[in-house]
Structure 1
Amino acid sequence: MLIRRTKPLAMLAALLSTSTLPAQAETLQEALAAAYRDNPTLTAARAGQRATDENFNIQKANGLPDVGVSSTYNEFAHERPLNPLAPSRSLTTLLSVSVPVYSGGRVRNALAGARERIEAGQYDLRATELSIFSQVVAAYMDVIRAESVVGLSRNNVQVLEVNLRATNNRFQVGDLTRTDVAQSESRLSLARADMQTAEASLIEARERYIQLVGHEPVDLQTPPQLPGLPATPDEAVDVAMAQNPDLLAARNIREAAAYDVRVAKGQRLPTVSAFASGQHYTDLASRGGANEAQDSGQVIVGARLSLPLYQGGRPGAQVRQSQAYQQQAIETETAVERSVIAQTRSLYSSWQASNEVIASNRVAVDASGLSLRGVRAENSVGTRTILDILNAEQESFIASVQLVTAERNAYVAAFSLLAAMGRINPTDFGIAPEQVINPADNFQRVKGKWFDWDDDAKPAPISSRTVDSAAQNATVNASDTN
C-alpha cells in the first residue's frame, strides 16, 4: 500500500526546505505566503487596525485649536413702520479661535489610553495572523492526509475485489462455502463505503484550502520541519507568557482601562481655554440715501475658566463605570492567561502524544503487513480461512490510515504550539522582510497628521475572490500518495 510519510518531529531544523520541486508543486511556505497576502480575514483585520490607529488623532484633536468662520447675510424684505435710515440688507462675518489650555488631564490620559489600545490592536492583528496560519497548516495537512487516505481506500477496494474474485472461483470448484463469499462481499461493500467517505473528505479539505489560501491545492509537498519547539511544557508556557499576542493585547487593554478612569475623573476638574474672535459688519450701502457702506468691526481676546460645581452625578457615575471596566479588563487578562497556559500545555501534550502514536503506528503498519503476507501464505496451504485474510487486510488498512492521521495531527499540534508561544514569523515562510506588513508603520504614518482634508485613497478590494475556482473532486495523482 502506498502511504505518505513525513519525518518525525522530535528533531527540529531552523532552516526551511529549499529542494527542487516538480513543476507547479506547492510548498507549505508558499501556501502560507499566499494566505498572508490574500486572505480576506487578514486584510480586513489590517483595515480594522488602521481604523484603530485614527483614535489617537481623534483624541489629539481635543487638545488642538478650533478655528471657525461664519458669515450671515440678511435681506430685510419688509419693515413696518418704514424706517428710511435702516439698511435693507446686511452681511456679518465672524472668525473665532479657541485654544484649550488645560482640560483636567483628560486629553493627556485619553491619548495614553489610545496608544495602549493601538498596541493591543497590533497584538490582536498578530493573533489573527497566527490563527490564519494555523488554519492554513491544518488545511494543508488535511489535504495531504485526505489524499493519502483516498489512495489507501482505493487500494483496499482493489485488493478486496481481487479477493472476492478469487473466493468466487474457489467457491465454484467447491473449495470454499457460500459463507466465505458473503464475508468477502460484505468487506468489499464496507470498503467501498469507506472510500466514498474518504473522497468526500478530500473534496471538503480542498475546498477549505481554497477558502483560506485563495487558490486550488496543487501537488502539495511534504512540509518542512518546524524550528523552535520547546523541550518541556514549562518552557513552552514561559515563552507563551512573554510572547503570546492574545495575552499581550489583554495587558494593553488593562493599561488602557486605567487611563480611562483618569479621563473620567478629569470631568470634575476645571478647564481653561484661550479664545479670540473677530467680527465684521456691513450694510452693503443699503441705507436710504447712503452712498457708502456703513461698516463696523471688533476683535475680542480672552481666556475662559470653567469650574464644574454640580453635574447631576454624571462624573461619579462615569468614574464608577470606568472602574468597573478596569476591573473587567483585569479579570479578562487573568482569563486569557489561564487560557494560554491551558492551550499551550494541551498542545504540547498533543504533539508529544502524536509523535508516540506515529512510532507505534509505524510498527503496526510493518507488523500488519508481515501478518497479512503470512496469513495469505497459510491460507494457501489450508491452515487459514478467508475471514482470517479479510481481518488481516482490515488491520493493515486501519494501521496505515491511523499512521497518516497521526502524522497530520503531530504537525498541526506542533505548529499550533509554536503559534501559541508567539514563535511564528512571516519571514519563516519565504516572505521577504520588506514585504512584511508591520501595523506600527501605519500608525507612524498617520499620527502626525492634522489637516482636516488629509484623506486616504478610496478603499478597493485587496483579496481575490474564489467564485471562479473549479469545484473540487477526489482525483488523486500517483505522486500525491507516494
Structure 2
Amino acid sequence: MARMTKTEAATDNRSKGAGVHRFVAGVVAGLLFFGAPVTALSETLADALAGSYTNSGLLEQNRALLRAADEDVAVALSALRPIIGWSADVTYSDNEARSLQTGGLVRSTQDTSGSLGLSAEIVLYDGGRSRMGVDIAKESVLATRQALLGVEQNILLQAVQAFMDVRSNTEIVALRRNNVRVITQELRAAQDRFEVGEVTRTDVALAEARLAGANALLAQAEGDLAEARAFYRFAVGRDANALAAPPALPARPASVAAAQDLAMRSHPEILGAQHEVAVSDLRVLVAKAAAIPTVRLQSRYGLTEDLDNSDYSRGGSVGIGLTGPIYQGGRNSALERQAINRGTAARSALYEATQRVAQNVSTAFARVDVARAAIEASDRQIRAARTAFEGVREEAALGARTTLDVLNAEQELLDAQANRITAVSNQYAAAYGLLAAMGQLTAQKLQLNVQVYDPGAYYNQVERAPSKISKQGRQLDQVLKSLGRE
C-alpha cells in the first residue's frame, strides 16, 4: 500500500474532521434543544391534583359510604324517641249455627265490623344501651371520615405519580428521538465517507447497529409514554396535554422524628383506628348492659264499630312495662366475651397502625434523601459525560478517535440525562409520598383550587333524624336527587 504524503494526510484528516464536525454539530444542537426550557405549558401539577380530586369515582363512592354512616346516627337516635303506630281493619263474617237455643233450627248471621287503633311506646330506661348506640354510631362516623381522608390521600398521590410519569416519559421520548436523529445523520455521513473511501464498512455497520438500538429505545420510550398517558387519564379524569414544570418541592420536617410525631397526630389511619377502639369499648358496655331490664311507657287507643248497626266500642290504656332476660342459653355472656375480644383486636390494630405509619414515614423520608442524592450524582455524571464527549469530539476531529468513540461518548451523555429525568420524577413522588405518610396530602392542606368536600354538612342535616315529611327531610330529598342517587 502506498504511503500518503503529508498533504494527502492533512486533506484526509480535514475530510474526516468535517464529517465528525457535522455529526457533532447535530449532537450538540439536539442536546441544546433538549436542555432548553419549555414554555407556554398549561397543565400544572396543582391542576392535575384538582382534577383527580374532582373527577374521582372512588372518592364519590366513599363519600356516599360516609353519608350512609351518618344515617346510622339517625337510626340509633330513633331508639330514644317515641314509636307511634296505627292499625285498621274491616272484617266481614258469615256464620251458621244450630243449637237447643235455636230450637234445632239452622240460623245464619252476617256481620261487618271495622276497627281502628293507635299505639305509642317509648323506652324510659334500658341501662343506657340506646344512648350508647348513638355514641357508637357517632364514633363510627368519625372513623369513616378518616377512611375517606385515607382514600383522598391515595387519589392525590396517584395523580402526582401520573403527572410526573407523563412529564418524565415525554422528556425521555424527546431525548430518544433526538438520539435517533443524530445517529441517522452520522450514518449518512459514514455512508458518504465510505463511498469515497474515507472509512471502512465497519464504521457504517457500527452506525447502523447503533441506529437500530436507538430506534428500539425510542419505541420503548413511546410505549412507556402511552402507558403513562393512559394512567393519567384514569388518575386525573382527562387527557394529558402540555404539562408545565412542577413547582418547588413541598417543605418537610427537619428530622424523621419530627415527621413521625406529626404523623402520629394527624394520619387518618391512626385516627380512624382510635375511633374504632372507642367503638369496641362502647360495644363492651352495651353487652354488659344486656341483662338490665328495659322499662317502657306504653299507651293504646282503639275504636271498633259494627257497620251493620250503630253498635261500637272504644277505649284506651296507659301502662308501664318492664321486660328483661332470665335465661337465654348463655347468649349474653357469649356476646360480652365477643365484644371484649374485638376490643383487644381493635387495640392491636391501633398499635399495628402506629408502627406501620412510623415505618412508612421513615421510608418516605429516606426516599427523598435518596432521590436528592441521585439528582446530584446525575448532575456530576452529566458534567463529566459532557466534558468527555467534547474531548472525544475534538480528538475525533484530529483523527485520534473513531466514529464508535464519538457514538459511545454521546450515548453516555444521553444516558446520564435520562437518569436525571428519572431521578427528578422519583424525587417528586418521594416528596409527596412523605406528605401522604404524615397525613398531610389532602386537598385542604394543599390548598387546591377545588370545592373541598365538607364531611360534616350532610351529618348536620341528618344528626337529629328528621322525618321525611319535615322541611329538613324534604331538603335532604333534594340533596340526594342532586347527587343522582334517586
TM-score, scaled to structure 2: 0.86
Match of 2:173 among 150, 155, 162: 150
State the shift of 1:425 in Å: 4.0
Match of 1:219 among 235, 242, 249: 242
Aligned match of 2:3: none
Secondary structure of the residue that 1:77 maps to in structure 2? strand
Give the Cα separation in 1 of the matches to 2:305 and 2:86: 16
Determine if the alignment matches structure 1 residue 298 to structure 2 residue 315: yes
Match of 2:212 among 189, 210, 222: 189
Compared with structure 1, are the counterparts of its residues 5 and 58 closer, same or farther at alpha carbon in structure 2 (3 Å cutoff)? Answer: farther
The farther-off stretch of 392-401 and 177-186 is: 177-186
Aligned match of 2:10: none
Compared with structure 1, are the counterparts of its residues 152 and 335 closer, same or farther at alpha carbon in structure 2 (3 Å cutoff)? Answer: same
Aligned match of 1:456: 477
* AA aligned opposite 2:419: Q
Give the Cα separation in 2 of the matches to 1:369 and 1:197: 25
* AA aligned opposite 1:343: N
Give the Cα separation in 2 of the matches to 1:437 and 1:299: 51
Give the Cα separation in 1 of the matches to 2:234 and 2:94: 68
Aligned match of 1:442: 458
Aligned match of 2:337: 320
- CA-to-partner distance for each residue in 1:121-151, whole Å, 9 max, x for gaps? 1111111111111100110111110110000
Determine if the alignment matches structure 1 residue 47 to structure 2 residue 40: no
* AA aligned opposite 2:467: F
Q: How many residues align?
A: 440
Give the Cα separation in 2 of the matches to 1:71 and 1:431: 58
Contact 1:206 1:217 (8 Å CA) reproduced: yes
Contact 1:26 1:219 (8 Å CA) reproduced: yes
State the shift of 1:109 in Å: 1.6
Secondary structure of the residue that 2:94 maps to in structure 1? coil
State the shift of 1:153 in Å: 0.6
Compared with structure 1, are the counterparts of its residues 57 and 428 closer, same or farther at alpha carbon in structure 2 (3 Å cutoff)? Answer: closer
- Larger Rg: 1 or 2? 2
Give the Cα separation in 2 of the matches to 1:220 and 1:366: 27
RMSD: 2.2
Give the Cα separation in 2 of the matches to 1:424 and 1:267: 43
Compared with structure 1, are the counterparts of its residues 427 and 271 closer, same or farther at alpha carbon in structure 2 (3 Å cutoff)? Answer: closer
Superposition pairs of residues 37-436 of structure 1, within 5 angstroms: 37-81=54-98, 88-284=111-307, 286=308, 292-427=309-444, 431=448, 435-436=451-452
Compared with structure 1, are the counterparts of its residues 352 and 264 closer, same or farther at alpha carbon in structure 2 (3 Å cutoff)? Answer: same
- CA-to-partner distance for each residue in 1:202-226, whole Å, 9 max, x for gaps? 1111111111211112211112124
- CA-to-partner distance for each residue in 1:300-347, whole Å, 9 max, x for gaps? 100111121111111111112222221221111122112111111111
State the shift of 1:430 in Å: 5.4
Give the Cα separation in 1 of the matches to 2:377 and 2:429: 19
Contact 1:277 1:301 (8 Å CA) reproduced: yes
State the shift of 1:30 in Å: 1.6
Give the Cα separation in 2 of the matches to 1:168 and 1:452: 85
Secondary structure of the residue that 1:79 maps to in structure 2? strand
* AA aligned opposite 1:410: Q
State the shift of 1:69 in Å: 0.3
Compared with structure 1, are the counterparts of its residues 412 and 70 closer, same or farther at alpha carbon in structure 2 (3 Å cutoff)? Answer: same
Compared with structure 1, are the counterparts of its residues 427 and 120 closer, same or farther at alpha carbon in structure 2 (3 Å cutoff)? Answer: closer
Identity among equivalent positions (%) equals 33
- CA-to-partner distance for each residue in 1:212-266, whole Å, 9 max, x for gaps? 2111122111121244311211111111111111111111111111111112222
Compared with structure 1, are the counterparts of its residues 171 and 208 closer, same or farther at alpha carbon in structure 2 (3 Å cutoff)? Answer: same
Secondary structure of the residue that 1:456 maps to in structure 2? helix
The farther-off stretch of 24-33 and 56-65 is: 24-33
Runs of 4+ in 1 over 3 A off after TM superposition: 2-6, 77-84, 427-433, 452-455, 457-463
Contact 1:38 1:462 (8 Å CA) reproduced: no
Contact 2:250 2:431 (8 Å CA) reproduced: no
Give the Cα separation in 2 of the matches to 1:211 and 1:369: 39
Give the Cα separation in 1 of the matches to 2:380 and 2:357: 35
Determine which structure has the larger helix proportion and give its number: 2
* AA aligned opposite 1:445: Q
Secondary structure of the residue that 2:86 maps to in structure 1? strand
State the shift of 1:83 in Å: 5.6
Aligned match of 2:15: none
Compared with structure 1, are the counterparts of its residues 461 and 283 closer, same or farther at alpha carbon in structure 2 (3 Å cutoff)? Answer: closer
Contact 2:86 2:118 (8 Å CA) reproduced: yes
Contact 1:276 1:300 (8 Å CA) reproduced: yes
TM-score, scaled to structure 1: 0.86
Compared with structure 1, are the counterparts of its residues 316 and 3 closer, same or farther at alpha carbon in structure 2 (3 Å cutoff)? Answer: farther
Secondary structure of the residue that 1:332 maps to in structure 2? helix
Give the Cα separation in 2 of the matches to 1:83 and 1:32: 86
Aligned match of 1:26: 43
State the shift of 1:179 in Å: 2.7
Compared with structure 1, are the counterparts of its residues 427 and 63 closer, same or farther at alpha carbon in structure 2 (3 Å cutoff)? Answer: closer
Compared with structure 1, are the counterparts of its residues 462 and 166 closer, same or farther at alpha carbon in structure 2 (3 Å cutoff)? Answer: farther
Give the Cα separation in 2 of the matches to 1:126 and 1:298: 57
State the shift of 1:459 in Å: 4.8
State the shift of 1:200 in Å: 1.1
Unaligned runs of 5+ in 2: 1-30, 99-105
State the shift of 1:427 in Å: 4.3
State the shift of 1:271 in Å: 0.9
Contact 1:167 1:180 (8 Å CA) reproduced: yes
Give the Cα separation in 1 of the matches to 2:297 and 2:107: 41
